[in-house]
Amino acid sequence: MAASSGDVVAVVVAVVVAVMMAVAVAAGEVSDDGGDQPSPPCARRPVVFAFGDSNTDTGGIAAGMGYYFPLPEGRAFFRRATGRLCDGRLVIDHLCESLNMSYLSPYLEPLGTDFTNGANFAISGAATVPRNAAFSLHVQVQQFIHFKQRSLELASRGEAVPVNADGFRNALYLIDIGQNDLSAAFSSGGLPYDDVVRQRFPAILSEIKDAIQSLYYSGAKNLWIHGTGPLGCLPQKLAVPRADDGDLDSSGCLKTLNAGAYEFNSQLASICDQLSSQLRGAMIVFTDILAIKYDLIANHSSYGFEEPLMACCGHGGPPYNYDFNVSCLGAGYRVCEDGSKFVSWDGVHYTDAANAVVAGKILSADYSRPKLPFSYFCSA
């Protein structure tokens, strides 16, 4: 018998709460005997600056390009259009909740913004190359530098600013990008796997390295870097016609694409280690998002999910409900009744429920090196 919607939500919530409580106990923020009340995760106001693509974009593409993503986008939590490509919250939203801070306002949004807890420079569709393309990672970092310089200029004149010099100095700088780069690298040109790794990866990784260094030399000392996810488990990739299922692994994901993502993350982690030893005073944390998301897909039922590889919102029905000609919100699309049973929202992005599990695993610190709590930057 299929689990009810209430049962699925309860399992997801229980998993996330258990992970967050374990982190709190380990950090001494709450007693494991139940006798103490949890203390605030931060000793000072948390400030976060985020960079990346649609996995982190909280409305930047809507503000920057005038795009409108109506319901069912946002239906599971916000119940309105927010510019997020999700039925609710993204991973960054859940992480912000863990710090008891407001959701990050998009840098490009002119109305109703609140930058007191930082700003979100991530834009849907963003990549690292070409570096001067609109909303690339390099451009996002340049936008941040402008934001900081302008803030400090106004502060020097005695004007009120949402983030002061101390706020910038103690802030967390989060980068989550590369999925679009890898998707393009493995989808165009017909290059063999080894050639993609050898010819395409260096430029992508070089841009992320340059972004970390640019932020550091602009005063950043706390950097949180996410690896890319399991590209071969996206319904969008699985829906591409194939001659046979020889490239599928035991979880139904494409082995070649996931091997590429694993290699990319391995090289990115090495870059983070290298920069950690070179940039004096910097704390650079690398988080293995591929391991987190693959575990969620491979063991989906233990997290309360029924459909790990089929999009909730799309067209075409099983096994992937993804049609390259009819995307979510496209003419004739169909949306599932209960997104909490699905890992994938639209074939590319995760559901609110899946993002909650991913965030919980990030907060556990088990997938990060060094193993620091997400709140380390604001708890000292």
- What confidence tens digit (pLDDT) does each residue in 245-286 have? 999 999 999 999 999 999 999 999 999 999 999 999 999 999
Residue 334 lies in a domain: no
Residue 273 lies in a domain: yes
Active site residues: 54, 346, 349
Structural domain total, the chain: 1
**pLDDT of the residue at 19:** 43
Residue 351 lies in a domain: no
**pLDDT of the residue at 190:** 80
**pLDDT of the residue at 14:** 43
Query: Taking 50 as the threshold, does the pLDDT of residue 151 lie above it?
Result: yes
Stretch among 33-37, 97-101, 326-330 having the lowest mean pLDDT: 33-37
Residue 282 lies in a domain: yes
Intra-chain end-to-end CA distance of the chain, in Å? 49
Q: How far apart are CA 375 and CA 380, in angstroms?
A: 9
Residue 356 lies in a domain: no
Q: Answer with the residue of higher pLDDT: 50 or 39.
A: 50
Cα-based distances in Å from 304 to 2, 4, 15, 253: 11, 10, 9, 19
| Residue range(s) defining the domain that contains residue 257 | 48-289+365-378
Both tokens of residue 327?
């995307």
Q: Answer with the residue of higher pLDDT: 118 or 15.
A: 118
What share of the chain in percent tops pLDDT 90? 88
Residue 302 lies in a domain: no
Those residues whose C-beta lies under 8 Å from the C-beta of residue 376, and which sit 6 or more positions away, are 222, 283
**pLDDT of the residue at 41:** 82
Which tens digits make up the pLDDT trace of 58-106? Answer: 999 999 999 999 999 999 999 999 999 999 999 999 999 999 999 999 9
**pLDDT of the residue at 25:** 38
Q: How many CB atoms are located within 10 Å of the residue 1 CB? A: 3
Residue 155 lies in a domain: yes
Q: How far apart are CA 357 and CA 195, in angstroms?
A: 35
Residue 301 lies in a domain: no
pTM of the complete model beyond 0.85: yes
Average pLDDT, the chain: 91
| Angle formed by the axes of helices 289-298 and 255-278, nearest 10° | 150
pLDDT level of residue 29 (50, 70, 90 thresholds): very low
**What CATH number did the domain enclosing 81 receive?**
3.40.50
